[in-house]
Every structure is written in C-alpha cells, then in structure tokens.
Amino acid sequence: MNLSQALIDRSGEKCELCSSSETLEEHLVAPKTEQAEIAICNKCLTEITQDTALDTDHWRCLNEAMWSEVPAVKVVAYRLLSRLSHQDWAMNLKNMMYLEEELQEWAENTGNSKVIHKDANGHILSAGDSVVLIKDLNVKGANFTAKRGTAVRRIRLVPDNANHIEGKIEGQQIVILTQYIKKS
C-alpha cells in the first residue's frame, strides 16, 4: 500500500523533529518520493499539515532537528523555520543552516501546486475534517467492507492527489477516493 502517511509501530524510537516518544507516524515530505519519509509524532504532524499558526514554543526543538543526518528532516526543519521567520530565534537558526543545492531546491519546492480536495458534493476538504462514506467500500487487504454512513474523523489529505484522502476505519489507516465521501 502506497500511503503518504501511515501509522507505524516503532517502539523505543522518537519523533525525528521533537524527540517525543509518542506513537509515530510516517510523513511523506513532498515532492520527493524516495527516502522522503520521516517518523514524527501526532503533534508535529498536525502542526505541519494544517495551515494554522504554529506553536512557536514547540518548534524550538528545531535547534537540534536541523542538524539531522536525514535529508528529509533537514528539509522539514528548513520549511518550518521559514514559516516561523517572524520569530528572531527561528530566523537565526535558519541563517545558520547549510543545505546542499539539491536539498535547498527540495526545501523551497513544497510541491504544493495547491491541490484542492473536494468531496462528492464539491465541498472543499481540509486536513482534520470529518467525512461520511456515501457508498459501501470493499477495503483491499483488510478483509472488511466499510459500510455507507461510516464516519471518518480527522482525515488527512494526500498532498499530490486531489482524488485521495486518508483516514481510519475500524482501526485501519486507508486511502479513500473523494468521490465516495461527503463532508459532515
């Protein structure tokens, strides 16, 4: 299954950004596809994927994350420091960062050509929304059928495909086609 974000069990491992030992999730750092996933906690994932003001105190952890050996972690740290550039400490950290030319291009190319996700009725979806299935869906590989009317809370948007969202049904993280959901 090719998910951009999937729940993973990495007992003993920590968030690659803030070092939290919560349950980790994989996050695909767009627009790369190879070696572009990082394991992060839910707090970091929520802050990264939603277009809201960032918790500046939480992101002071970037002081350590920006020196990671993992290119995708460096790219995310650079992007977050750019979003926090109104803070003096964040601007200072960003100015200290050195990214090779290829990483710099990746960090500046967020891959956000503004993909807009819409439900079956044409309503615009946002990360964290709740949706309802409008058709019974056979979930491949999980041996169950998601019934019409099933609520899916806290959806995630697939960054490079406007026709796909991700959500949990019966404890399984799955990809759902937007044509089979409506915003609730």
Q: Which domains does the chain have, with CATH numbers?
A: 24-108 (no CATH), 131-183 (2.30.30)
For residue 6, is pLDDT > 70?
no
Q: What is the pLDDT of residues 48-64, one digit of tens each?
A: 887 778 899 999 999 99
Determine the pLDDT at residue 113. 54
Q: What is the pLDDT of residues 85-103, one digit of tens each?
A: 888 999 999 999 989 988 9
- Give the pLDDT band (50/70/90) at residue 3: very low
On whether the CB atoms of residues 80 and 54 are closer than 8 A, the answer is: yes
Determine the pLDDT at residue 12. 59
- Give the pLDDT band (50/70/90) at residue 10: very low
Tell me the C-alpha distance between 40 and 20, whole Å: 8
